[in-house]
Amino acid sequence: SSPSTLSQLFALDSLLEPEEIAIRDTVRDFANARLRPHIADWFEDAKLPVREIARELGGIGALGMHLEGYGCPGTSATAYGLACLELEAVDSGIRSLVSVQGSLAMFSIHHWGSEEQKNEWLPRMAAGEAIGCFGLTEPDFGSNPSGMRTNARRDGEDWILNGTKMWITNGSVADVAVVWAKTDLEEGARGIRGFVVPTDTPGFSAPEIGKKMSLRASVTAELVLDDVRLPASAMLPKAQGLRGPLSALNEARYGIVFGAIGAARDCLEAAIAYSQSREVFDKPLAGYQLTQAKLADMALEVGKGHLLAYHLGRLKDRGEVRPEQISTGKLNNTREAIKIARECRTILGANGITLEYPVIRHANNLESVLTYEGTSEVHQLTIGRALTGQDAFR
């Protein structure tokens, strides 16, 4: 009989609106035509042409896609998720670019910023003409950002920022950094606050982090803030406390729920195709029961991952999704995706370790995806807290 696609097996399109399918297909076609042919080289060379790609992504409306106004397309959250899925089916690094730009940097300005900040940055960021980054993590504070040491003190009307941020996606190519810092408790703007920092401000530097074995098609940098002087208007006026950055993380984690399953789908499609053409012991690998058992089990997880993502998309579109629900999707879909990537690698044998096929690249990328935006353990503890009412983080 003729083979079904994964989408047909689960009748996935029956759960989507025609407009969402059209957006998904636009992004898929763009990704396959403009990104897929180059991705193995970008990964091998650890060089992503961020500016060029950002302008093209802006051109198809993929930056700040589900934000309203200020030049943003204002699509449904589900459509945004589908875009993340198609981009990560090419590479997690591309989805990261979109997540950091749209869900972290643009969302923070859109949700917590002043009209002046929104008008200054969002239209250019939506078009991909200005690149943003988001500095929360520090060398000694990743899972526990509440311990951050980066500090903002008042000098007259100005703010002076000092500190170091670590592992910041797009850091060394960004035009603007959303930086989270602790403010002096005595000075009326208590606790953790966000600052919109143009990266050409004196005292700001962003050395790139090299020697990565994962997310090679993504720029990662340190941010060094050495007496960076900013006007009073640089502070995000509406964000106070950890809720500010964590609300942006919800947005980016939501995109990863979809994205990770895109990487898994790409691995599985590569493994199915390979198993049909590769002959072992005189017949195609696909004709062996052991292979089919692997493929069937992986298809179940890819299908279930889609269903969970679509469900969270609908909850988010209704404004009902809760952070611990996003944690269920981030934890499950990332964890299953990396298992699938590794299992697919076995089907490809030695060919599976090369960049001729996407599988080892996805597997390596997913090591980062498992860690950033809340490690698996952080999401287990978030779900555990929701189930028991007990906070086991500390």
> Count of H helices and E strands in the chain?
13, 11
What are the structure tokens assigned to 321, written together? Answer: 């999704």
Interaction with ligand TGC in 252-281: which residues (CB under 6 A)? Answer: 252
DSSP string, 97-130: HHIIIIIIIIHHHHHH--HHHHHHHHHHHHTTSS
Give the binding range for ligand TGC (CB under 6 A) out of 9-17, 49-57, 144-152, 173-181. Answer: 144-152
From candidates 32, 146, 233, 346, binder to ligand TGC by CB under 6 A: 146
From candidates 169, 199, 332, 334, binder to ligand TGC by CB under 6 A: 169
What whole-number distance in Å separates Cα of residue 239 and Cα of residue 226? 23
Interaction with ligand TGC in 278-337: which residues (CB under 6 A)? Answer: 323
Give the DSSP H or E segment for 18.
helix 18-30
With CB cut-offs between 5 and 8 Å by kind, which of ligand TGC, ligand FAD, none does residue 252 bind? ligand TGC
Give the binding range for ligand TGC (CB under 6 A) out of 181-189, 274-282, 354-362, 366-374. Answer: 366-374
- Under the criterion CB under 6 A, does residue 42 sit at the interface with ligand FAD? no
Q: Determine phi and psi for 228, rounding to 5 degrees.
A: -80, 115
Best CA proximity match to 372, nearest among 252, 291, 227: 252
C-beta of residue 196 within 8 angstroms of C-beta of residue 238: no
Where does residue 306 rank: exposed (0-12), middle (13-18), buried (19+ CB within 10 A)? buried
From candidates 39, 125, 168, 268, binder to ligand FAD by CB under 6 A: 168
Q: Which residues are catalytic?
A: 373
What whole-number distance in Å separates Cα of residue 185 and Cα of residue 154? 11
DSSP at 373: S
Best CA proximity match to 215, nearest among 362, 31, 377, 28: 362
- Under the criterion CB under 6 A, does residue 372 sit at the interface with ligand TGC? yes
Q: Collapsing DSSP states into helix, strand and coil, what is residue 133?
A: strand
CB of 243 to ligand TGC, least distance (A): 4
Radius of gyration of the chain (CA): 21
With CB cut-offs between 5 and 8 Å by kind, which of ligand FAD, ligand TGC, none does residue 246 bind? ligand TGC
- Under the criterion CB under 6 A, does residue 208 sit at the interface with ligand FAD? no
What whole-number distance in Å separates Cα of residue 390 and Cα of residue 376? 18
Give the binding range for ligand FAD (CB under 6 A) out of 43-51, 54-62, 161-169, 276-284. Answer: 161-169
Give the binding range for ligand FAD (CB under 6 A) out of 48-56, 130-138, 284-292, 352-360. Answer: 130-138
- Under the criterion CB under 6 A, does residue 255 sit at the interface with ligand FAD? no
**Residues near ligand TGC, by CB under 6 A:** 96, 99-100, 134, 136-137, 143-146, 169, 241-243, 246-247, 249-250, 252, 323, 372-374, 378, 382, 393
**Residues near ligand FAD, by CB under 6 A:** 100, 134-137, 142-143, 167-169, 215, 220, 368, 371-372, 375, 377-378, 393
